[in-house]
Structure 1
Amino acid sequence: MSENSIDAIKAERRAALSAACEMVGGVTKLAEKIGKTRAHISTWKQRGMIPPDMAIPIEKASGVSRSVLRPDLYPDQESAA
């Protein structure tokens, strides 16, 4: 995988996490809803990586689909069909 591909994946994950934060009213609100700290979310944004076990809690808290947050683990069902 090229470095450009990796950068693109990280950018997509950052955007998805930012969208989740916006949906609930900010980083602090999302952190509270998923039982993590602001620092956790900030680190995930910086790294462009959402831990696998956090995709579903973030989805439940924000409404942002797990297939958007972690498409490598949760492919879009419409695309998979």
Structure 2
Amino acid sequence: MNAINKAIEIAGSASALAREIGVSTQAICFYRDGKRRLPVEKCSAIERATKGAVTRQELRPDDWAQIWPELVTSPPPNAEVVHG
């Protein structure tokens, strides 16, 4: 199950999730069906709405570390470590 479907299930329905994060039900369905990419600004809203059961990292697996670098707990495998 992908992260959006998990969030919908937790919220109870696509319309319930839409109300929680301030978008239309159609928008949630577009995100679920891959017709639109979930906007960055809605990821933390979903994380809050699901009480952390669906994380920003799950919602944006390809680019979350660039968007929210403060969530990175260790450097990527090929990262250059700068000693100060």
Fold conserved (TM > 0.5)? yes
Aligned match of 2:20 in 28, 33, 40? 33
1:79 deviation in Å?
6.2
- TM-score calculated relative to the size of structure 2: 0.66
- Identical residues among aligned pairs (%): 31
Residue 24 (structure 1) aligned with residue 11 (structure 2): yes
Whole-angstrom distance in 2 between the partners of 1:79 and 1:70: 18
1:80 deviation in Å?
4.7
Aligned match of 1:69 in 59, 62, 74? 59
Whole-angstrom distance in 1 between the partners of 2:43 and 2:74: 19
Provide the aligned length of Structure 1 versus Structure 2: 68
Q: Which has the higher contact order (CA 8 A, sep 6+)?
A: 1
Structure with the bigger percentage of helix: 1
Tell me if the contact between 1:34 and 1:61 (Cα under 8 Å) persists in the aligned partners: yes
Segments of structure 1 that go 5 or more residues without pairing to the other structure are 1-13
1:44 deviation in Å?
1.2
Root-mean-square deviation (CA, aligned residues, Å) is 2.3
Whole-angstrom distance in 2 between the partners of 1:59 and 1:47: 19
Segments of structure 2 that go 5 or more residues without pairing to the other structure are 66-70, 77-84
Which structure has the greater CA radius of gyration? 2
Structure 1 stretches of 4+ with a deviation exceeding 6 A read none
